Structures are given as C-alpha cells and as structure tokens.
Amino acid sequence: KAGVTQTPRYLIKTRGQQVTLSCSPISGHRSVSWYQQTPGQGLQFLFEYFSETQRNKGNFPGRFSGRQFSNSRSEMNVSTLELGDSALYLCASSLGPLGTEAFFGQGTRLTVV
Amino acid sequence: GQQLNQSPQSMFIQEGEDVSMNCTSSSIFNTWLWYKQDPGEGPVLLIALYKAGELTSNGRLTAQFGITRKDSFLNISASIPSDVGIYFCAGSSGAGSYQLTFGKGTKLSVIP
C-alpha cells in the first residue's frame, strides 16, 4: 500500500512569487491535513480537509490556502511568498477524522530567496 | 491555544540504555500519538493511544496515556544506534478539532 506522496520534494522560489504543493493521501484515506515545520516554531497546523471541505484552519495568514479534490488529493498554495515561508511543508492523511492515526508524507522543502 | 510541553529537549545516551521522554498538555486530549522523524523525512507514527491509562507497546517502545489525559510518556528500552532521531508527541482533543498539536520534540543521540 503506497504511503502519502508529496510533490515536489524540493522547491526554490523568489520572494513575491506563489507556489503550489501537492499531496496524494494513502488510498482510502479521506482526511488530509497540512503542517508547516520550522526549526523555531516546530510543527504548526495549517488546515485540514475532509471530503473536499475545509474543516479546520490554523493561525496562518490568508496567503496560505488549500483545496481537496474528489479523489482526496490535496493542494496547498502560498501566494506572495516571504522569506519566512521557508520551511518543510508536511501533508498527513487519515482514514477518518483527524485525531485518529495520521500518516505523514516526506514533505516538500520550500526555500524562499 | 493548546500547548504541549515535551521534555527533555535533547538526550545523549549510551547504546543499550533505556530512554524516557514525556509530554504534558495545558488541556485534555482524547488522543496521543508518538512520532519519530529522521533528517529530511516526514514524521513516522510509532504509537497511538486512545484511552486514559492505556499502555501500548511496539517492540522496544512503550507509551502510556496519562490518567489525567493531560500527559503521555514514551519509553525506549535497550537503545540502538538507529533510534537516533527526533521524537514528537502529538495530541488531539477529539471530534470537532481535526488537528494535531505537536510538542517541540526530543532529539535523541545514541553513543555506540
């Protein structure tokens, strides 16, 4: 059974640009959540989707957005990139509502220059 | 908001020694999860706990869900070099929350 797949693995962008990250959950999992990981702040919750609906959102500016498709695949978008957005972005999938076992992908390492 | 205090921040131990780390929360959690993360990789789920007082093992790892539902600990017995990494606790308050709150991690180094 394939795990959570995130693409791309690495990304370098310039300040002011926008970026889209992709996440394919484990087959059959309908909940997808996104986290930002930085050395200073640790793992911070961005948002969670279930059946194409955003059910919860973390304390991030509106530049961070996401969506989920009917096949449960999810994308997150960051517009007007800032240097502080450099981080490892992790996607996790769960069979049911998050709060049960969440399985993470390898992450996308975003560097903003 | 919810906060998780994880300790210790880092540990240096001799191969073969036992390790203990814990997390405490400012509020009640209904689920506790323990993860291990290697450099450049995503966290890997080690143990999931769902009931207060629950004690669960996974090989050399044992974790417990505290009776107060505000704490959890993870023990690693007879450590080996591949145990090196960062261990995270994570908690969820349950239905309606749909998010995990993470501790800052415990960095484990094993001296052969």
Q: Find, in chain B, the residue whose alpha carbon is nearest to that of A49.
A: B98
Cβ <8 Å between B31 and A100 = yes
Strands (E) in B2-105, as ranges, are: 4-7, 10-14, 19-25, 31-37, 44-49, 55-58, 61-65, 71-76, 85-92, 101-102
C-alpha–C-alpha distance, residues A23 and A110, integer Å = 14
Q: What is the layout of strands, in order, in the sheet containing A74-78?
A: A5-7, A19-24, A74-78, A64-68
The pLDDT assigned to A7 comes to 98
Give the nearest partner residue to A58 out of B43, B48, B99, using CB atoms: B99
Tell whether the torsion through CA atoms of B103, B104, B106 and B109 is positive or negative. Answer: positive
Please compute the mean of the pLDDT values over residues B83-98 and round it to a whole number.
Answer: 86
Check whether B95 has a pLDDT greater than 70.
no
C-alpha–C-alpha distance, residues B85 and B108, integer Å = 5
A59-113 pLDDT, tens digit each: 999 999 999 999 999 999 999 999 999 999 999 999 876 557 899 999 999 999 9
**DSSP characters over A4-32:** -EEE-SEEEE-TT--EEEEEEPPTT--EE
B58-75 pLDDT, tens digit each: 999 999 999 999 999 999
Distance from CA of A85 to the nearest CA of B (A): 17
A24-73 pLDDT, tens digit each: 999 999 999 999 999 888 899 999 999 899 998 999 999 999 999 999 99
- B102 chain-A contacts, CB cut-off 8 A: 35, 42-43
